[in-house]
Structure 1
Amino acid sequence: MAQLIGALGIWNTSATRHTPLEDAQGIFSGSLVSALGLYVLASAGLLTGSTAGIAFLLHYTFGVNFGLAFFLLNLPFFYLSLKRLGIAFTIKTFVAIGLTSVLADVQSRFFEISSIHPAWAALLGGLLLGFGLLALYRHRASLGGVGILGIYMQERFGIRAGLVQLSVDMCVLAAAFFVTTPPVVIYSVVGAVVLNLFLTINHRADRYIAL
């Protein structure tokens, strides 16, 4: 029983170190919640930023499979992750991206959102993505792309990851004006702002540092 309690991290005497089982549940939970957030956005035809936003653009414009596009777009960022953030972070991020890509594609097999107002989708989708990313960040993982860059900038220069993400997201969403309607872009911007403000407020290295 004592070994099980230790593996689960219950009453863990080391406040800054996660057990492997804690990391596993955190990465799975973060990936699942993130995939749900992406599904909510997609149900209203909205986008988000970073590599997920580019994957949405490819999906809406050319019919490319979202999960596959999301996974492939993140591959170039693994070099930065491996070089700057270490092999453990890189492996956990690779797993998180793979899980999120698969889960995002299979969501519709388990339930379907038949109707949702785009404003509510932006709010709910942004918050779900924020919660998912926060869970991943706190277990030393991310959803790749700008998330990797954001964490590196925060740890190296003290620039908050949410602000880095927000800057890039605005560029991605600006490009969306060329492939979709202005209302869709506006609601998508709302979702991106909700996501990144949530991360900016809640993900601070001086409040939570875990290994």
Structure 2
Amino acid sequence: MASNAFAGLLNSSADRHSLFDDAQGIVAGSMLAVLGVTLLSGAGLLAGGTAGLAFLAHYATGISFGLCFFAVNLPFYYLAFRRMGPAFTIKTFVAIGLTSILSEFAPAFIGVTHVHPVAGALFGGLVIAAGMLALFRHRASLGGIGILALYIQDRLGWRAGLFQLGFDCLILALSFLVASPFIIACSVLGAVVLNLTLAVNHRKDRYIAM
């Protein structure tokens, strides 16, 4: 019986991930996200969504990014549960928690002494996108405004994409309080790289495993 239960944790199929598949995907995705965040932070850059809020709070208060990132995502778990179900919410909570914890310890193990803002935008945006793709493919995410945008679209009929764009514009406007125009321009470049990578590579009709 025990061996059968253990085999069930490892066995996956063409259209369904095993528990082990999900676990390694969430760990790998979180690690890649932390590496990307480390590059952005080393270059003094910001991001959109809840990561952008966390960066703003981090730069303005000196509180660690990991703690800020975990805190700003707390209100979205209820919406994730309502919109996406308990499995997605639990895996997203684990991914955010792991990303937050690893972000706390990453500076002690990854010594980034200098990152040019343009390089930080290109490499940081790409690595975070790779991490998010890994999470998406295991029906998890790093939380964020996207969940709220979908919820508001359902309740109020507002377009989710326009709502998210408006929120990111607000983050960009607030960024002028803590960053120079050049840093903000590089942050926009990083966001373009991240979202373009997601747009090209994340298609449900090409990847159907649950």
The alpha carbon displacement at 1:118 in A equals 0.8
CA contact (8 A) 1:140 1:210 kept: no
* TM-score, length of structure 1 as denominator length: 0.86
Which residue identity does 2:136 align to in structure 1?
A: Y
Q: Judging changes above 3 Å, is the alpha-carbon distance between structure 1 residues 185 and 24 closer, same or farther for their aligned structure 2 residues?
A: same
CA contact (8 A) 1:26 1:139 kept: yes
Report the counterpart of residue 76 of structure 1 in structure 2.
Answer: 75
Segment drifting more, 26-35 vs 109-118 = 109-118
* TM-score, length of structure 2 as denominator length: 0.87
Report the counterpart of residue 117 of structure 2 in structure 1.
Answer: 118
The alpha carbon displacement at 1:171 in A equals 3.4
Structure 1 unaligned regions, length at least 5: none
Report the counterpart of residue 101 of structure 2 in structure 1.
Answer: 102
The alpha carbon displacement at 1:79 in A equals 1.0
User: What is the total number of aligned residue pairs between the two structures?
Assistant: 204
Report the counterpart of residue 27 of structure 1 in structure 2.
Answer: 26
Report the counterpart of residue 192 of structure 2 in structure 1.
Answer: 193
Kindly report the root-mean-square deviation, in angstroms, between the aligned alpha carbons of the 2 structures: 2.7
Q: Summarize deviations over 1:123-161 as a string: whole Å, max 9, x none.
A: 0000011000010011000001124347879xxx9x998
Q: Judging changes above 3 Å, is the alpha-carbon distance between structure 1 residues 128 and 15 closer, same or farther for their aligned structure 2 residues?
A: same
CA contact (8 A) 1:160 1:204 kept: no
Q: Percent identity?
A: 54
Which residue identity does 1:83 align to in structure 2?
A: R
CA contact (8 A) 1:97 1:144 kept: yes
The alpha carbon displacement at 1:191 in A equals 0.3
Superposed, 1:1-211 pairs within 5 Å as 7-9=9-11, 12=12, 14-149=13-148, 168-211=167-210
Structure 2 unaligned regions, length at least 5: none
Which residue identity does 1:180 align to in structure 2?
A: A
